[in-house]
């Protein structure tokens, strides 16, 4: 992960260098300034003012005052001593009363003709101050900038690098089978959001893996009983003394095969309940619920009365018809198996929500077991479940169908019938 710091630092340094180069190439050149004016500005000299001061009396005091004010030597020289060392254009300028700047080996010199006198004022400014990036000062400044850039990049990258290192470590632990490993979240920025999303993914992976383990364990347990009975029935077929006994044993074996087939069918249905409902259409739910109630009536037609009651016109609901029919059918079948004499199916539509209620007058569901009954292969009374049929997957499939519609199923006590009340709820318009 240290490479992240190097890459970010190199990228910022490259951007800095390219930006400086772009400014140097694209920035407009400074306006041309006359060399004489540059020297005047450097020396702090106004030629007309200096020449006027020297034209007055007490020149020695004026010279001393100028030297003190300007900070460099000022001399008053005879015109002949100066003109002889100048070129023709400089002599003509002096003759016209204009200042002259000469660049000597020792530095620049300013010559000012003094009005009314055959004298020339000579000013010799000191050397200019060193440039900002010149010599050791430039090296120190560049080093300071690089040091500041390094510190800024380090402070910016280090927390993200630590968080990514933690995520990488937890990912390795998850890969090695430690499904409970999670990333400690101590930040509220993008790195913290990444860690939170990673932990959410790890939760889902752990739930899925543990669910698969539970399912596999349940499948192996559920298959063992009908397979053992089938094996025993086939052995009895071989030992049957008469043809009638053989037919009887074969019929028993066929029943065990039907049970196995039903279990496999339920397992396939359960395994497909991943994600959201895909084949959603606007469905008239009232006749569909009436059909489900009629199908449930056939399980115990002489014992249990199954009725359907719609609170109002339910209209069309966008849902996966097959999943919905399977889920409500499982709830009705479960209620019919445990009811004493009555099962009631009802539905209602409220703003933004669609609800189906399945009630019975059976023994109900104990409060401490209401969450567990939606897990695969969970039966509150295994012996009773064997008597009433079922694979232990019906409610788990119904719950999965509800989740596929972004809804849920809960169970509570029925206030009217006294048994269990299963409540299917799903949002509308998503």
DSSP 167-214: HHHHHHHHHTT-TT--------SHHHHHHHHHHHHHHHHHHHHHHHHH
Is there a contact between 183 and 199 (Cβ–Cβ < 8 Å)? yes
Helical axes 394-404 vs 321-338, angle rounded to 10° = 150
Q: Give the chain's domain count.
A: 4
Q: Which of 217, 251, 271 is the last residue of a domain?
A: 271
Q: Give the pLDDT confidence score for residue 32 in this predicted structure.
A: 42
Query: Are 292 and 361 members of one domain?
Result: yes
Q: What is the pLDDT of residue 98?
A: 75
Spatial contact of 12 and 154, defined as CB atoms under 8 Å apart? no
CATH for 397: 3.30.565.10
Answer whether residue 45 is part of any domain.
yes
What is the distance between the alpha carbons of residues 78 and 91, in angstroms, rounded to a whole number? Answer: 14
Task: Identify whether residues 161 and 80 lie together within a single domain.
Answer: no
Q: What span, in angstroms and rounded, lies between the C-alpha atoms of 156 and 163?
A: 12
Whether 387 is covered by a domain: the verdict is yes
Give the whole-angstrom CA distance, residue 362 versus residue 411. Answer: 13
Is the residue at 109 inside a domain? Answer: yes
419 within 8 A of 361, measured Cβ to Cβ: yes
pLDDT on residue 395: 84
In a domain? residue 54: yes
* Segment (H or E) for 384: helix 382-388
Digit-coded pLDDT (tens) for 203-237? 878 877 776 776 666 666 667 767 777 787 778 77
Give the pLDDT score at 380.
61
Residues 241, 368, single domain; the answer is no
Point out which residues pair with 372 in neighbouring strands.
none
**What is the pLDDT, as a whole number, of residue 237?**
79
Q: Answer whether residue 293 is part of any domain.
A: yes
- Based on the fold, state whether residues 82 and 155 are members of the same structural domain: no
| Bridge partner residues of 424 (DSSP) | 356, 409
- Beta-bridged to residue 316, according to DSSP, are 284
Q: Helices marked H in 240-320 — which ranges?
A: 243-271, 285-297
Average pLDDT across each block of 10 residues of the chain; the chain has 430 residues. List them in order: 60 70 59 51 59 67 72 73 72 73 70 72 65 61 74 72 79 82 75 79 79 67 70 79 81 77 69 63 91 88 87 84 86 90 92 92 87 73 45 78 87 90 88
Residue 221 is assigned to a structural domain of this protein: yes
Same domain for 8 and 151?
A: yes
d(CA 267, CA 219): 8
CA dist 62 and 298 (Å) reads 128
Torsion angle of alpha carbons 220, 224, 230, 234, nearest 10°? 110
Residues 109 and 200 in one domain: no
CB 111 within 8 A of CB 100: yes
Collapsing DSSP to helix, strand or coil, 418 comes out as coil
Cα gap 424→356, rounded to integer Å: 5
Query: If DSSP codes are grouped into helix, strand and coil, which group holds residue 303?
Result: coil
**pLDDT of res. 3:** 61
In a domain, 252, yes or no: yes
Q: Are residues 293 and 414 in the same domain?
A: yes
Q: Look-up: residue for tokens 């999943």?
A: 323
- Residue 213: exposed, middle, or buried by beta-carbon count in 10 A (0-12, 13-18, 19+)? exposed
Distances in whole angstroms, Cα of residue 393 to Cα of each of 185, 219, 221, 268:
38, 10, 13, 11
Cα dihedral sign, 370-371-374-380: negative
64 shares a domain with 85: yes
Do 298 and 416 lie in one domain? The reply is yes
- Shared domain for 8 and 112, answered yes or no, is no
Q: Give the domain-ending residue among 220, 243, 271.
A: 271
pLDDT at 26: 60
Is the Cα dihedral 315, 320, 323, 326 positive or negative? positive
- 175-189 residue pLDDT tens: 888 888 888 877 666
- Dihedral class, residue 223 (left if φ above 0, else alpha if ψ from -120 to 50, else beta): alpha
Cα(165)–Cα(64) distance, rounded to whole angstroms?
73
- Inter-residue contact 393 to 270 (CB < 8 Å): yes
Residue finishing a domain among 271, 301, 323: 271
Q: Report the b/e string of 170-200 with b at 16+ CB within 10 A.
A: beeebeeeebebbbebebeeebeebbeebbe
Rounded to the nearest angstrom, the gap between the alpha carbon of residue 196 and the centroid of all alpha carbons in its chain is: 9
**pLDDT score, position 193:** 78
Predicted TM-score (pTM) of the model is 0.49
Query: Residue 173 domain-assigned?
Result: no
Same domain for 307 and 206: no
The domain of 113 spans: 35-123
If asked whether residues 267 and 304 sit together in one domain, one would say no
- Tokens 């232990």 found at: 392
Q: Quick one: which of 75, 61, 151, 134 has its CA closest to 109? A: 75
């Amino acid at each position: 992960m240290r490479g992240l710091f190097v890459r970010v630092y190199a990228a910022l340094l490259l951007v800095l260098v390219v930006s400086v180069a772009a400014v140097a190439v694209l920035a407009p050149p400074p306006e041309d300034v006359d060399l004489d004016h540059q020297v005047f500005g450097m020396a702090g000299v106004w030629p007309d003012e200096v020449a006027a001061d020297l034209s007055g009396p007490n020149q020695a005091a004026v010279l001393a005052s100028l030297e003190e004010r300007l900070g460099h030597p000022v001399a008053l020289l005879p015109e002949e001593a100066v003109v002889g060392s100048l070129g023709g254009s400089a002599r003509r300028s002096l003759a016209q009363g204009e200042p002259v700047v000469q660049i000597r080996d020792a530095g620049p010199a300013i010559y000012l003709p003094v009005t009314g006198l055959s004298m020339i004022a000579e000013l010799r400014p000191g050397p200019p101050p060193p440039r900002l990036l010149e010599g050791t000062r430039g090296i120190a400044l560049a080093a300071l900038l690089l040091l500041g850039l390094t510190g800024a990049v380090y402070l910016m990258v280090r927390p993200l690098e630590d968080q990514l290192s933690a995520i990488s470590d937890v990912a390795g632990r998850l890969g090695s089978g430690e499904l409970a490993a999670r990333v400690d979240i101590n930040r509220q920025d993008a790195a913290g959001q990444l860690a939170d999303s990673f932990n959410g993914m790890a939760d889902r992976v752990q739930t899925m893996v543990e669910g698969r383990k539970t399912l596999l364990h349940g499948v192996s347990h559920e298959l063992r009983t009908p397979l053992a009975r089938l094996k025993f029935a086939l052995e009895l077929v071989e030992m049957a003394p008469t043809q009638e006994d053989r037919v009887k044993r074969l019929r028993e074996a066929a029943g065990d095969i039907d049970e196995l087939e039903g279990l496999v069918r339920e397992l396939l249905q359960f395994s497909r309940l991943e994600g959201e409902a895909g084949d959603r259409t606007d469905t008239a739910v009232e006749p569909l619920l009436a059909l489900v109630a009629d199908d449930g009536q056939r399980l115990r037609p002489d014992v249990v009365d199954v009725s359907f009651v719609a609170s109002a016109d339910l209209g069309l609901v966008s849902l996966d018809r097959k999943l919905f029919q399977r889920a409500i059918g499982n709830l009705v079948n479960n209620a019919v198996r445990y009811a004493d004499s009555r099962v009631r199916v009802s539905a209602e539509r409220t703003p933004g929500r669609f609800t189906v209620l399945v009630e019975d007058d059976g023994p109900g569901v104990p409060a401490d077991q209401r969450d567990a009954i939606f897990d695969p292969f969970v039966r509150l009374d295994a012996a009773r479940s064997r008597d009433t049929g079922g694979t232990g997957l019906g409610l788990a499939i119904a719950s999965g169908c509800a989740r596929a519609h972004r809804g849920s199923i809960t169970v509570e006590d029925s206030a009217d019938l006294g048994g269990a009340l299963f409540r299917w709820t799903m949002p509308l318009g998503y």
